[in-house]
């Protein structure tokens, strides 16, 4: 290949964890391979047979940072290349010649950044060896088969749900699966109108039905009330129909193979310590609801069952819940661009909980700080920087996600209620919470096969931006040459007068072009692919460091066409899901069929690009790219090595009468998340060692050479501050039809003339909530002057937005406000 300047370099030294290995470096189209003869232990006799050569393989998409350090003429240091891997492995290569080092660097950069197309990755040429080549992991998940397992099929008894094919050609919602499960009483015509109210037409759709109480977990994207308080009767009707699906449901109907008796789990009949005074009851009708024309739950329940026929479960009071995973203020800010969160007055029989889980940008920065704490793992064997580990807030984020999953699982499994989950577009935090809560509720998803089905359903089928979040095609920003200034365009200007920088940033909020696919409005489709603008693409840089001419904006589409990595859209969303699963495994070591290594290898193959499973953002892209025909499934790798990934402690028995064998498991309440040390390539005592609140820690320069096995005694220099012991509540804000609580509560301002109703008037808003309402009214006037948030009466929100002259500023602001 023209990008390979050098294919083999001898006399290379590899450093890892402070240990040196001498060998040969090979550069191939998809891998760099370092081969070496392992050194003999000191004092050991020479072996009878020559030692066997070992190899270290690094795939180019695994590289997240690569820096070349040339050798200055006056320096006696050898030129080197340092590499950080996305699997948290760190390498340093020393060369005896600077030209060799530069050729290797340019080759690695060319094979990483200049690919430009997904079909040039390893997955499209990988040919596995037996017995892996006989497997077809693409056939493991079948949507109809999984819905049938959950009791939903045309031949099964009526449970209030049906399978809709409204999206069979992916035109209704390109990021949703072809088959959607919706309430039986909701027609496809209603869905057509309801889709206009949800971002990207990601309507509330079923992902899990509890076999014992017929309660559900549904997921969606955010609605679009905007600052004018727009509403959709069809969306309200759809949500009300979801609440009504278990009306008249009898406990005798719930009989599953894992629980033959069909009774409720022990956890469902205990007295709850939480107060239920604020719970909302399904079917409550009030005069205000009738007069305002709202859809109420009783309108959709034609059951002639008497109230006494409903299941009576001690300790369970139905309180359906809408879970908005975002911080309250973020959800409120999205109203400025025509989106936002539900106004609970129009969704009776439920309450809304804001979980306060931070957005992709906060999570990316958090992981970057963790990497900063362990980044010298190539040349040293020192323990991680505890100050940076604590500063990252990573375990706090993990605790928040687990607490959210617990809330959802408790609501469905204990309170016998329905839950609707969404964040912004419903494919990041929503996927995390939906999948984790199902792991808690259903033992099947804790088996190897069930976990695979869960990932296929909630992440691959319902859509997650794997390509955007993972950056498989690399970026020039990840490649640097020390002491050489490469003139590249920066995302945000720096330096200069601080006031000018602030003014420039304020202008940029409205004027700069934002290409994020995190929250853009649904764009027109062309060539069967997602339309994007690439005016912010990084211009190619030649070997001399001169920037090329910036290309004019171009439209790109299909998976095979040129794509770029948008660094500001990368985020460890799927990594956090695997980390949270590890937390559950650690707390419940006998309830999972698979082991920790399975999760670690799955994270590796998320970035290896050896398989086609994670290369695309949704089911539509995978289908159009014919991924099942042209690539191998990652599940082949695990299934042909199944014994390596099984948990020897696994207990498959489910008995709700025996403690430790219940159907439902929960994250332990009040227990903070721990560090998944193995995934970071560390020992448990390095990451999870308990230290006093203030512990002096030395520089580590005098630490023993083997940082793994020898405890590090702290010096007396820098105190290390542990994370505070106080635990924040999982719910950062709640909202009922009558009242909202929590700082920055999302109270919709009174609708403007001719739009909505006057509900919400007279609500007492203390403190920050009142400030939010005043801010909203001022913001409404400001946005109107900018041409934002305007909507013509009688037109669907989505269509109106597409014609609005303020659409461009909306796109520019959305990612900032999440």
Active site residues: 423
DSSP letter at 156?
S
DSSP letter assigned to residue 200: G
Question: 279 to each of 284, 410, 411, how far by Cα in Å?
Answer: 12, 14, 11
**Which has the closest alpha carbon to 490: 534, 539, 532, 533?**
539
Report the distance separating Cα 457 and Cα 459, nearest Å: 6
- The residues, ordered by sequence, that sit 6+ positions from 159 with a Cβ below 8 Å of its Cβ are 151, 152, 209, 214, 245
| Residue 492, token pair as written in the block | 């945000």
Strand pairing report for 80-85 and 718-721: unpaired
Which positions ≥6 away from 755 have C-beta within 8 Å? 228, 229, 230, 793
Coil, strand or helix: which one is 182? strand
Both tokens of 590, joined, read 């006998």
φ, ψ for residue 466, nearest 5 deg? -60, -45
Asked if residues 240 and 297 have their Cβ atoms less than 8 Å apart, the reply is yes
> What separation in angstroms does the CA of 372 have from each of 396, 490, 492?
18, 21, 22
In 347-449, DSSP assigns E strands to: 350-354, 419-422
Half-sphere CA count of 97, side-chain side, radius 13 A: 7
Instruction: Name the 3-class secondary structure at 243.
Output: helix
Q: How far is CA 97 from the centre of its chain?
A: 43
Burial (Cβ within 10 Å: 0-12, 13-18, ≥19) of residue 21: middle
Query: How far are the Cα atoms of 125, 399, 539 from residue 477, in angstroms, in the given order?
Result: 27, 32, 11
CA–CA separation, 328 and 731 (whole Å): 10
Q: Who contacts 689 (Cβ-Cβ below 8 Å, separation ≥6)?
A: none
Give the span between the Cα atoms of 742 and 511, in whole angstroms.
33
Q: How far apart are CA 94 and CA 74, in angstroms?
A: 17
Q: Return the bridge partners of 55, or none.
A: 35
Euclidean distance between CA atoms 488 and 485, whole angstroms: 9
For residue 158, which of 220, 236, 248 has the smallest C-alpha distance? 248
SS3 183: strand
Nearest 10 degrees: Cα torsion 245, 251, 252, 254? 70
Which residues, at least 6 apart from 639, have a Cβ–Cβ distance to it below 8 Å?
A: 135, 137
Report cis status (omega within 30 of 0) of the bond before 697: no
Alpha helix ranges (H) inside 414-551: 429-441, 448-454, 466-470, 498-511
Length of the chain measured in residues: 818
Task: Please give the angle made by the CA atoms of 220, 559 and 120, to the nearest 5 degrees.
Answer: 135
Helix (H, G, I), strand (E, B), or coil: what is residue 555? strand
Distance of alpha carbon 288 from alpha carbon 298, whole angstroms = 15
- Taking residue 240's Cβ as centre, other Cβ atoms within 10 Å add up to 27
Closest CA to 17 of 88, 79, 72, 66: 88
Burial of 266 (0-12, 13-18, 19+ CB in 10 A): middle
Strand partners, 85: 63
User: Which of 671, 131, 788 lies closest to 395, judged by CA?
Assistant: 671
């Amino acid at each position: 290949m023209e990008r390979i300047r050098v294919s083999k370099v001898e006399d290379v030294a590899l450093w890892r964890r402070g240990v040196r290995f001498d060998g040969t470096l090979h550069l191939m189209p998809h891998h760099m391979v370092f081969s070496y003869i392992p050194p003999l232990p000191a004092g050991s006799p020479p072996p009878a047979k020559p030692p066997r050569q070992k190899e270290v393989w690094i795939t180019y998409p695994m590289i997240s940072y690569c820096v070349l350090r040339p050798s200055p003429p006056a320096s006696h240091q050898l030129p080197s290349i340092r590499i950080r891997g996305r699997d948290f492995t760190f390498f340093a290569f020393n060369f005896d010649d600077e030209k060799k080092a530069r050729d290797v660097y340019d080759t690695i950069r060319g094979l990483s950044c200049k690919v430009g197309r997904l079909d040039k990755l390893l997955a499209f040429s990988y040919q596995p060896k037996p017995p892996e080549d006989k497997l077809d992991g693409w056939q493991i998940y079948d949507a109809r088969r999984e819905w049938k397992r959950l009791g939903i099929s045309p031949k099964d008894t009526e449970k209030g749900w049906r399978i809709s094919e409204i999206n069979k050609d992916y035109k209704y919602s390109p990021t949703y699966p072809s088959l959607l499960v919706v309430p039986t009483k909701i027609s496809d015509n209603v869905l057509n109108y309801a889709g206009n109210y949800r971002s990207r037409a990601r309507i509330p759709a079923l992902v899990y039905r509890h076999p014992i109480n017929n309660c559900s977990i549904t997921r969606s994207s955010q609605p679009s009330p905007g600052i004018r308080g727009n509403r959709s009767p069809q969306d309200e009707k759809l949500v009300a129909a979801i609440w009504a699906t278990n009306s008249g449901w009898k406990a005798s109907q719930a009989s599953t193979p894992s629980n033959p008796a069909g009774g409720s789990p022990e956890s469902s009949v205990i007295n709850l310590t939480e107060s239920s005074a604020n719970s909302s009851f399904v079917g409550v009708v009030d005069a205000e609801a009738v007069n305002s024309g709202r859809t109420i739950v009783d309108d959709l329940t034609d059951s002639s069952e008497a109230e006494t026929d409903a299941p009576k479960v001690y300790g369970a009071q139905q309180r359906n819940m809408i879970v908005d995973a975002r911080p309250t203020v973020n959800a409120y800010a999205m109203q400025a661009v025509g989106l936002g969160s539900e106004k609970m007055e129009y969704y009776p029989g439920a309450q809304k909980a804001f979980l306060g889980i931070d957005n992709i940008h906060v999570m990316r920065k958090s992981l970057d700080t963790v990497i900063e704490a362990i980044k010298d793992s190539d040349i040293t064997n020192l323990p991680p920087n505890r100050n940076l580990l604590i500063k990252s807030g990573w375990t706090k984020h993990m605790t928040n996600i687990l607490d959210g999953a617990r809330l959802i699982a408790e609501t469905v499994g204990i309170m016998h209620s329905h839950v609707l989950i969404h964040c912004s577009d419903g494919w990041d935090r929503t996927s995390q919470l939906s999948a984790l809560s199902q792991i808690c509720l259903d033992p099947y998803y804790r088996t190897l096969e069930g976990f695979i089905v869960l990932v296929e359903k909630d992440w691959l089928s319902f859509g997650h931006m794997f390509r955007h979040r993972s950056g498989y095609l690399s970026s020039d920003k990840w490649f640097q040459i020390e002491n050489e200034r490469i003139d590249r365009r920066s995302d945000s200007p720096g330096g200069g007068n601080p006031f000018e920088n602030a003014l420039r940033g304020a202008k940029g909020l409205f004027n700069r072009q934002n290409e994020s696919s995190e929250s853009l409005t649904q764009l027109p489709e062309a060539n069967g692919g997602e339309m994007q603008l690439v005016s912010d693409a990084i211009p190619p840089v030649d070997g001399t460091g001169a920037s090329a001419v910036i290309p004019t904006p171009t439209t790109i589409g299909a998976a095979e066409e040129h794509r770029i990595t948008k660094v500001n859209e990368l985020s460890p969303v799927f990594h956090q899901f695997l980390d949270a699963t590890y937390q559950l495994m650690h707390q419940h070591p006998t309830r999972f069929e698979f082991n920790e290594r399975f999760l670690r290898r799955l994270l590796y193959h998320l970035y290896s690009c050896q398989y086609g499973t994670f290369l695309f953002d949704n089911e539509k892209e995978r289908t159009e790219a014919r991924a099942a025909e042209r690539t191998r499934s990652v599940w082949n790798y695990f299934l042909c090595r199944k014994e390596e990934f099984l948990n020897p402690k696994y207990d498959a028995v489910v008995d709700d009468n025996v403690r430790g064998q219940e159907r439902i498991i929960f994250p332990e309440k009040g227990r903070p998340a721990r560090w998944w040390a193995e995934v970071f390539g560390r020992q448990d005592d390095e990451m999870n060692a308990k230290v006093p609140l203030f512990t002096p820690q030395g520089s580590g320069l005098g630490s023993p050479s083997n940082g793994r096995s020898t405890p590090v005694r702290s010096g007396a220099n820098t105190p290390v501050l542990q994370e505070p012991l106080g635990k924040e509540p999982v719910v950062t804000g709640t909202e009922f039809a009558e009242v909202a609580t929590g700082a920055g509560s999302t109270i919709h301002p009174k609708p403007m003339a001719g739009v909505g109703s006057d509900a919400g008037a007279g609500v007492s808003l203390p403190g920050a909530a009142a400030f939010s309402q005043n801010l909203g009214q001022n913001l409404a006037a400001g946005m109107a002057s900018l041409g934002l948030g305007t909507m013509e009466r009688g037109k669907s929100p989505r269509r109106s937005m597409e014609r609005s002259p303020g659409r461009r500023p909306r796109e520019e602001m959305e990612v900032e406000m999440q």
